Amino acid sequence: MKVKATVCAILPGLFASLPVGAQTWINDQSPATIVELFTSEGCSSCPPAEDKLNQLKSSKGLWTLVIPLAFHVDYWNYIGWKDRFSKRDYSDRQREKVSAGQAKGVYTPGWFINNQEWRGFFARQKVPFASGSKAGILKASLDDQSLTVNYDQPRNYTVNIALLAMNESTEVKRGENAGRSLEHEFIVVDFASYYGKNEWQHTISNELSAQPDAVAVWLEQSGSNDPVQTVAGLINRP
């Protein structure tokens, strides 16, 4: 994967949690494996799963062979602790996967490898990932609050765009994890999907639960669970 970046001055008035400057990520090789974990700070079974996801941070294949994503759901918030990273949209995303036959039920921790339910975690298996066949050139360009995605192939695709927060911790006061300090990586703090071809543009929300530290983009095509192409990486900051 080729990555090039240029850092510019911060513009006055931007919300503190937004990325700053301009940066471009390019992948002209193979797509990475997309690993999604649906989790919650209110679920006592989730910290071990997040620990396993967090281990991918030290993988030599991070961003190029594997892209980890932690979607914090909101359906555990009622039991006494509101997960500050949770969103109803992420709960709905998990339910949509079940409706599409990609999993047998809605639960946490819920793992998906390239859109298919993965239960290997419960058998203490290693998270599987590998690169696919070489694909076209996918480029993501960040400039202040705007993220532009370009792909050099002419067909229609669904593009998924996620901003990830890294190195976050929470002291849980109530609920199933009361008294625990939880360490989080790869937290999805902004997510959107768009359909079209060649170019897509996403405006980053100025009301994020944490400052984003990384960008992840992957293309999908109807009828296939594997990503067509991916690009991801850390956001450089001055």
- The count of other CB atoms within 10 Å of the CB of residue 171 is 10
**Mean residue pLDDT across the chain:** 91
Q: Helix (H, G, I), strand (E, B), or coil: what is residue 65?
A: coil
Confidence of residue 1 (pLDDT cuts 50, 70, 90): very low
Sorted by sequence, the CB contacts under 8 Å of residue 26 that are 6+ apart come out as 1, 2, 3, 4, 137, 138, 139, 231
Supply the pLDDT for residue 132. Answer: 84
Task: Report the run of H or E that residue 88 belongs to, with start and end.
Answer: helix 88-99
pLDDT at position 12 over 90: no
**Residues 74, 83 contacting (CB under 8 angstroms):** yes
pLDDT tens by residue, 221-235 = 998 999 999 999 999
**Residues 75, 42 contacting (CB under 8 angstroms):** no
Q: What secondary structure letter does DSSP report for 158?
A: E
Supply the pLDDT for residue 238. Answer: 73
pLDDT at position 100 over 80: yes
**What is the Cβ-side half-sphere exposure of residue 27, based on CA atoms within 13 angstroms?**
25
Kindly list the distances between the CA atom of residue 18 and the CA atoms of 3, 78, 109, 216, in Å, as whole numbers in the listed order: 21, 29, 28, 15
d(CA 177, CA 167): 19
Select from 177, 178, 169 the least CA-distant residue to 44: 177
Q: C-alpha angle 205/168/45, rounded to 5°?
A: 105
**Residues 100, 94 contacting (CB under 8 angstroms):** no
d(CA 21, CA 26): 17
Please name every residue paired with 184 in a beta bridge, in sequence order, or none if there are none.
168
pLDDT at position 15 over 50: no
